[in-house]
Structure formats: C-alpha cells, structure tokens
Amino acid sequence: MTQTVCKTLVSVARQAAFGAALAALAGCGMSSITSGIGGGLFGASKSADAGSGGSVDQDRLLAAAKTETGSLGSFGGDVAFGCPRFQVWSRDGYVTVYEPGKVGDGLAVMHRGEITKVARECQVEPGRVTVKYGFSGRVLLGQKGRTGRVTLPVNVFVTDAKREKILTDTSRVSVDVALDNPIGYFSVVRSVTFQIPEGSRPGEYEVYVAFDRSIPGAG
C-alpha cells in the first residue's frame, strides 16, 4: 500500500468510528493493534522471564513492542530461583481516554494506551528481594486526539501470598503522536526492593503493572 494511501487512511481514522478505522489501518502495517485484549482493540501482553541468563533491557523491550509477532523470548523459563512473577494487573494493561464528559463514547476517544510486553529478573538475598522489571507498549491517537505529547501514569505494586499490596511504585510513560504518525511506543525499566519475613518464599510474592485509571476522562 502506498504512503499516500496510508496517510489518507490515517485521516479517515479521525473521521470514522474508532474501531472501523483501525481495521482499515491494518493495510498500513498496523494490524497488530486490532487483535483482542479483554474484548478490546489491542493485543494481549506477553511476558518473558530473563532468569539468570539474560537481562531486562529497555531498548529490547521497545523493539519488541514495535513488532507484531516478535517476543522477548525466554532466557530461563520459570527456573528463576523463586523470583516473583511480573504481569499486567487484570484489565488495567490498557486505558482509553475520552473527551471530558464523554467516557464510553467511541466517537470521543482522544488516545488509548496499552502495555504489550513485560519482563523481569530478580536478586534474592536473606530477607530481601530486588526485582528489576521492564514493560513496554504503545499509545494510539484517537479521532478526537491532538498532535503532541501524551503522558499516562502507571502503577507498579507488589503483593504478598494473600494478594495484599505491600509496596507501590509510580511512574509515567510519555510518547509523541501526530496525525501522520498516530502510534507512539514506550518502554520502562526500573527496580523495586521489598522485605520478606522469615519463613516466606520469594515466589509467593507477585509484581504487577497497571495504568492509573484515576486520570480525567479515563475509561
């Protein structure tokens, strides 16, 4: 499909219904954003375990987010010496932001974010665990969106064996989007350290990432 036609379809995406336009954009190499996640428009996140033989790398996560079928691979499978799992929390791996007062209106979408890849590795010490985690994804400009920088807040939290939150780490992802470049990609790599009581196993704990839906217009 020619560049001129693709640009025309991008323009159509801002005038037609959001879902229908995304289907048209598939011909411009954007088919990866039209698969389902919890009934939505985006693809499900994929996890990789770096284990002891690999490293959570921001550039690699970003590259993986930009591919439709590429994955981070598995460096150690689940053999990570009881390293806590890192995954997306429930449905909060994606968030749609609407115009004020129009949450849920498919014709009022400003932008939509999605976490598509996650990875982690950890260091286990007596009474303490440090998890180096990474996640990546994309932000799609909606038909009511504007050219410029989009920033979305993200929460990462740790739960114990009873799924009680024991620690929360906050961050933000920012991308630049425009009419002729409606998809921006992001990647984040950080570390979190938490204490575990005597007799507990690191594998009983879990680390989750989620978009913060408390922002205005989020749905």
| pLDDT tens, position by position, 176-198 | 999 999 999 999 999 999 999 99
Mean pLDDT across the chain, nearest whole number? 76
**What is the arithmetic mean of pLDDT over 153-161?**
96
Q: Which residue has the tokens 């909606």?
A: 142
Q: How does residue 54 score in pLDDT terms, banded at 50, 70 and 90?
A: low
Contacts for 5 with CB less than 8 Å, ≥ 6 apart: 27
Distance (Å, whole) CA 87 – CA 93: 9
**What is the arithmetic mean of pLDDT over 37-61?**
52
27 vs 113 pLDDT, higher one: 113
pLDDT reported for residue 7: 40
> Does the pLDDT of residue 123 top 80, yes or no?
yes
The tokens for 29 are: 């190499």
pLDDT reported for residue 68: 55
Q: Are 156 and 207 within 8 A, CB to CB?
A: yes
Q: What are phi and psi of 129, to 5 degrees?
A: -130, 135
pLDDT tens digits for range 55-114:
788 899 999 898 854 444 333 334 345 799 999 998 889 999 999 999 999 999 999 999
Please state whether beta strands 206-211 and 85-88 pair in parallel, antiparallel, or not at all (unpaired).
parallel
**What is the arithmetic mean of pLDDT over 26-53?**
34
Distance (Å, whole) CA 26 – CA 111: 18
* Identity at 85, one-letter amino acid code: R
Q: What are phi and psi of 63, to 5 degrees?
A: -65, -40
Percent of the chain residues past pLDDT 70, beyond the cut: 69
> What's the alpha-carbon Rg for the chain, to the nearest Å?
19
Distance (Å, whole) CA 44 – CA 40: 10
Contacts for 20 with CB less than 8 Å, ≥ 6 apart: none
Angle at 133 between CA 191 and CA 171, to 5 degrees: 65
Q: Are 113 and 138 within 8 A, CB to CB?
A: yes
